[in-house]
Amino acid sequence: MSSNKVIVITGASSGIGAALAEQLGAQDYQLVLAARREPQLRQVAEPFGENALAVVCDVCHRSDVDQLRDAALQRFGQVDVWVNNAGRGIYRPVLELTDSDVDEMLAVNLKSALYGMQTIVPYFQQRGLGHLINISSFLGRIPFASNRSIYSASKAALNSLTANLRMDLARAYPDIHVSLVMPGSVATGFAAGALGAPPGAVPMPGAQTASEAAAAIAALIEHPVAEIYTNSANTPELVQRYFADPAAFEASNRR
């Protein structure tokens, strides 16, 4: 049950963001959906009529993110949940990374989420409540796909910022929740759209559907916790194996 919550979702024109919008819209949440691609974004928002606002937004620009917050408040009068979901992948091992590769991945996967945190959390602090959700990846925890090196590194940095923000807020703002979501492989166009993607790039084995990942995030909105893995069938076990013995894990997963 939505209780008329207003939820902002970035990267909402496709993939997990679009699937999350579809599920939350069906539960009568009020949605503010943001992405760069206007036709696709409006197609996601259209079924929900007045309960959804589509905002064309490049989250790599702080001013766009501030305007997204303002548009949400102007339309619905409040924001209850903010989901930093926008992201982009890359296929590039460490020794082949260029400056532009690093800059692009940090801008899309880390700085955009930082802008979201810095624009919405002060508003949550004024209200005394709210829920920030950062969409990361299990690759931010383990070197399972070394050819996605700087993507994984950007998500590891996001994991750290999220945890530190949660610690900063915990004592003075117990009703502001800060959650980290770590999907495993998800069967979307994300892999094919990654920088340097080889022809016919597909998700890694054992991929979830976008709807399955979105369902885990929707449940998190109803019952906030610090961290979740959306694919509970394998990703927590992989992470536990890695931290128990990194050398053994790396030896068994070399390609």
pLDDT per residue as tens, the chain (255 positions)? 446 899 999 999 999 999 999 999 999 999 999 999 999 999 999 999 999 999 999 999 999 999 999 999 999 999 999 999 999 888 899 999 999 999 999 999 999 999 999 999 999 999 999 999 999 999 999 998 888 999 999 999 999 999 999 999 999 999 999 999 999 888 776 666 777 767 766 666 677 899 999 999 999 999 999 999 998 777 888 899 889 999 998 888 876
> Which residue, 17, 149, 148, 172, is CA-closest to 83?
17
Boundaries of every domain in the chain: 6-252
Report pLDDT digits (tens) over 28-65: 999 999 999 999 999 999 999 999 999 999 999 999 99
> Which residue, 178, 200, 173, 179, is CA-closest to 189?
200
The strand pairing partners of 53, in sequence order, are: 32
Burial of 18 (0-12, 13-18, 19+ CB in 10 A): buried
Q: Which residues have C-beta within 8 Å of that of residue 70, sequence separation ≥ 6?
A: none
Report the distance separating Cα 22 and Cα 17, nearest Å.
9
The CATH architecture of the domain made up of 6-252 is 3-Layer(aba) Sandwich (3.40)
Are 58 and 107 within 8 A, CB to CB? no
pTM of the predicted protein model: 0.93
> Which residue, 118, 113, 104, 61, is CA-closest to 86?
113
Catalytic residues: 151
- Matching residue, tokens 């979105």: 214
